Amino acid sequence: MELTERILKADRRALARAISLVENDGEQAQKLLQEVYPHAGQAHIIGITGPPGSGKSTLVSQIARQYRQQGRTVGIVAVDPSSPFTGGALLGDRVRMRDLAGDRGVFVRSMASRGSMGGLARATGDAVTLLDAAGFDLVLIETVGAGQVEVDIAREAHTTLVVEVPGLGDEVQAIKAGLMEIADVFVVNKADHAGVDQTVRALTIMLDMNSAACSWTPPVIKTIALHGEGVADLIEAVDDHWAYLVRENALQDQQRIHAQNRLTRVMRRRLFDELLAKIGPERFEETVMQVATHKIDPYSAAARLMNSKTQGS
């Protein structure tokens, strides 16, 4: 495809178009990914997750700036939620990335979650693949800022940053188990607010209790993203983590797990789509109504639908 050639040359228009293609799915997207995928796998992919308003976008902007000063190029995918009712979305992460405007070494793409749970969109991984293939040295992914832990980011990123803000105090225990598992670096942002040190201490204690099992202990970094304070330390921690992955051969393991997840997701979706096409949307809808009105239970309904080979049989 001509589009592939242009992406590999980092043509921004082509890249933007290609991301829309993978978002909208379809045959052309598959063909594109087929051609582009062999060229990806070079970028360091960094995930940034954390509660709404914790400063993720501001941090992403600062991280990107620091890497740009080192001459490294940065692609960014920022995910915000779609409304489950209208399908619309207000994607506002660019507001905090104003400082990156005009820099040719940065490409920012806002992405609506389009019904996906877990903080990412279905196509986030594909968009990252495109940015990676276009030659960006780093790709930053900002997840949806939902209340709970967005663990899905860990299946796409090499290094996952979990952003917290001061004042969690006793809630630290409530930092849901999943968080400990996915965080490679903890960031306590808004360090200009009261209670930073308690939060840092609480996180550190918790990490110490958890650290025995693993050869990497996530550092806890204080930042004031608003003024760029602590961001140099944060970059250092991110680079340390990358060096660790490479040194310990952990990168291969991680890549294998990521690939397995991705393949599983694609297969699952295809299987469902194919099955649904066979069953026919009307019959599926009918069955949904039967389950909704408690005429049949979901398990029997699924069994019945999945045994049907052709529409209407």
Ligand X SMILES: Nc1nc2c(ncn2[C@@H]2O[C@H](COP(=O)(O)OP(=O)(O)OP(=O)(O)O)[C@@H](O)[C@H]2O)c(=O)[nH]1
By CB under 6 A, is residue 81 in contact with ligand X? no
Look-up: residue for tokens 């599926």? 284
- Separation between Cα atoms, residue 105 and residue 134, nearest integer Å: 11
By CB under 6 A, is residue 233 in contact with ligand X? no
By CB under 6 A, is residue 56 in contact with ligand X? yes
Site string (130-169) toward ligand X, x via CB under 6 A: ---------------x------------------------
- Separation between Cα atoms, residue 41 and residue 135, nearest integer Å: 10
Q: Which is nearer to other proteins, 53 or 87 (CB)?
A: 87
- Separation between Cα atoms, residue 105 and residue 112, nearest integer Å: 23
Count, residues near ligand X per rule CB under 6 A: 17
Residue 20 tokens read as: 């829309």
By CB under 6 A, is residue 54 in contact with ligand X? yes
By CB under 6 A, is residue 224 in contact with ligand X? yes
By CB under 6 A, is residue 65 in contact with ligand X? no
The window from 48-56, 132-140, 196-204, 281-289 that contacts ligand X (CB under 6 A) reads 48-56
By CB under 6 A, is residue 192 in contact with ligand X? yes
Reported in sequence order, the residue ranges of 136-184 that DSSP labels E, i.e. its strands, are: 138-142, 159-164
Query: In the set 82, 189, 199, 287, which binds ligand X (CB under 6 A)?
Result: 189
From 144, 141, 133, 127, select the one nearest 63 (Cα to Cα). Answer: 141
From 147, 91, 141, select the one nearest 114 (Cα to Cα). Answer: 91
The string over 103-140, giving b where at least 16 C-beta atoms fall within 10 Å of a residue's C-beta and e elsewhere, is eebbbbbbbbbeebebbbbbbbbbbbbbbbbbbbbbbb
- Shortest CB 233 distance to Mg ion, Å: 21
Residue 131 tokens read as: 């940015």
The site for other proteins (CB under 8 A) is made up of 12-13, 16-17, 19-20, 23-26, 82-83, 86-92, 94-95, 98, 101-102, 107-110, 112, 114
By CB under 6 A, is residue 222 in contact with ligand X? no
Binding site for ligand X (CB under 6 A): 50, 52-58, 93, 96, 145, 189-190, 192, 224-226
